[in-house]
């Protein structure tokens, strides 16, 4: 098979910049399935412009993300975990193909990844102390800036 024909049949690996898939214009490396030695995909080497675009998008997103309460961030992680688990079989097959692992080894790797996400979902508990920064969006206090007894009691229960 000619190199050109192989490149056409290979899966491409897009970059994700600002939430959108982007096909790199940089040189490509061939990824081989370690179990079979067959060419499996084209992996891009990003250009300096693509790296700058990704860093710029991340920098721009940081402004609002850093103000997102940790509990809201955890909701995204829980959703991420749900999406991964919904496609577990496909992801395990990809782990096998890309890393040359057996199915059982790939299942173990997948499960360890899920456990890491679940650990991160516990961030609000890990952050507890006297105060928890950015645990919720700003709220207005009661009359004359004094918190109501109800709000104070609820906060004590949550942050015990």
Q: What is the value of pTM for the model shown?
A: 0.66
What's the pLDDT at 131?
Answer: 60
> Which of left, alpha, beta for 35 (phi over 0: left; psi -120 to 50: alpha)?
alpha
Q: Which of 78, 74, 79, 76 is nearest to 135 (CA)?
A: 74
pLDDT of residue 149: 47
Bridge partner residues of 28 (DSSP): 44
pLDDT band at 45 (very low <50, low <70, confident <90, very high): very high
């Amino acid at each position: 098979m000619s190199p050109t024909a192989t490149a056409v049949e290979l899966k491409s690996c897009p970059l994700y910049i600002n939430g959108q898939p982007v096909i790199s214009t940089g040189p490509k490396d061939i990824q081989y399935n370690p179990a079979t030695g067959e060419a499996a995909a084209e992996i891009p080497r990003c250009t300096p412009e693509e790296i700058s675009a990704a860093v710029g998008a991340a920098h721009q997103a940081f402004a609002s993300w850093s103000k997102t309460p940790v509990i809201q961030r955890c909701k995204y992680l829980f959703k991420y975990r749900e999406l991964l688990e919904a496609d577990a079989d496909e992801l395990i097959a990809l782990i096998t193909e890309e890393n040359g692992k057996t199915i059982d080894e790939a299942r173990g790797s997948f499960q360890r990844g899920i456990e890491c996400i679940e650990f991160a979902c516990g961030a609000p508990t890990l952050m507890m102390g006297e105060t928890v920064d950015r645990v919720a969006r700003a709220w207005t206090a009661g009359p004359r800036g004094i918190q109501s007894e109800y709000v104070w009691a609820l906060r004590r229960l949550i942050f015990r």
